Structure 1
Amino acid sequence: MQTGEEKREERARALARRAAAFAAHGSAAGARLAAHGLSFLHLARGSTISGFSAIRDEIDPGQLLHHLHGQGHHLCLPVMEGKGKPLVFRAWAPGDEMGKVQWGIAEPLPDKPVLEPDVVLVPLLAFDSAGYRLGYGGGFYDRTLDRLRAIKPVIAVGIAYDELKVDAVPHQSYDERLDWVLTPSGPLRCLEP
């Protein structure tokens, strides 16, 4: 188990790797995600997929979301309800008006209906082949995936630059694993640890 200081140091290294990947690939990375799509999941038409609004140097899933919308899938984006609470997902479509909240994250407006996604696209700082991810430390996605998986089958797909893969991400018993990671190079199936 890592100490808080060790996790802070790991996050700092991961942020530096992600910044370098963003500088190297820019918006081309998002176009490559869209070119891959989510066909590897064999989703039924009309599945509900949650994306996210990229901040800072996160890989931008915007083009992928436009592609999925064009394929007839329902889209939603996460909304923060408060510290220590799971995310909720509100319906979203390209072109919808958005509200800005903490950290400059764009969220659907409160008048949009709440949806329960079949697939959750997850931002991250680092990932490993077992499906563990390093996030920002707030636990939002862990709580959210735990809640969703208690009520229905849900597939978690990390969205990341290839350079963010590490040998092992430190994890705790409450950390929810990813099923897949989609990088500009293509999808990676996460293996049992």
Structure 2
Amino acid sequence: MDVSEVKRKARTAASKRRAEAHELLKDSAGIALAERGLPGGLGHRPGIVSGFMPYKSEITTIPLLSRLQREGWQTALPVVMAPGEPLVFRAWAPGEPLVPGLWDIPVPPETAPEVIPGVLLVPMLAFDRRGYRLGYGGGFYDRTLEKLRTLKTVAAVGVAYHAQLSDEVPVGPHDAPLDYVMTEQETFACG
């Protein structure tokens, strides 16, 4: 079985696990992330951080973004410009207006300035302790990390429910590893 077929099957199982975790923890998990803050030394040097608006049963990063903004970080959200292209990031702070983006995911308006984050909070369906994640299959974050890492040092922080942890996520040749993972239960460096 090729890796794309393995990933397709893994996505189905991971979606179910995430939805179950979301039902139990949606009101408390984002607060737990915010109380802990960013991993390692990342939180000691405010810069630009991109979160994401929760899609389907994704964990929310909004409480964490609110904390980071209060601590002096420039916060932003990703915007899908077109299939097959890297994401762009627009400045946004919790409470500011949003408009419907692709797949009706809320995004900052086109008037919001584009920024290049040094920390990306990355959504996912599943992850493992090596730092590999299973996304939706569009490759947006993999392409984005590849592009950004040619410009500057970028920390990729996967954000998920602990129930999304897998022993081993299937990996393809273009999958970009995460540096850290944050869940409502723990934060750890990958590798």
Deviations along 1:149-174, whole A, 9 cap, x unmatched? 01110000000111111111111121
Which letter maps to 1:9? K
**What is the CA distance between 1:39 and its match in structure 2?**
5.2
**What is the CA distance between 1:44 and its match in structure 2?**
4.4
RMSD across aligned C-alpha pairs, in angstroms? 1.3
1:155 paired residue number: 155
2:178 paired residue number: 178
1:128 paired residue number: 128
Which letter maps to 2:22? F
CA distance in 2, matches of 1:138, 1:127: 16
Conserved 8 A contact 1:125-1:133: yes
Conserved 8 A contact 1:45-1:72: no
Q: Secondary structure at the match of 1:23?
A: helix
1:8 paired residue number: 8
Deviations along 1:94-116, whole A, 9 cap, x unmatched? 22111112222110111111111
Conserved 8 A contact 1:45-1:71: no
- TM-score normalised to the size of structure 2? 0.96
| Seq. identity, % | 45
Conserved 8 A contact 1:21-1:161: yes
Runs (5+) with no aligned partner, structure 2: none
Conserved 8 A contact 1:49-1:73: yes
Q: Secondary structure at the match of 1:76?
A: strand
**What is the CA distance between 1:138 and its match in structure 2?**
0.2
Runs (5+) with no aligned partner, structure 1: none
Deviations along 1:4-49, whole A, 9 cap, x unmatched? 3332211000000001111121210111011111152344443100
1:26 paired residue number: 26
- TM-score normalised to the size of structure 1? 0.95
Structure 2 matches for 1:1-193, cutoff 5 A?
A: 2-38=2-38, 40-191=40-191
Distance change (3 Å), C-alpha of 1:5 and 1:110: same
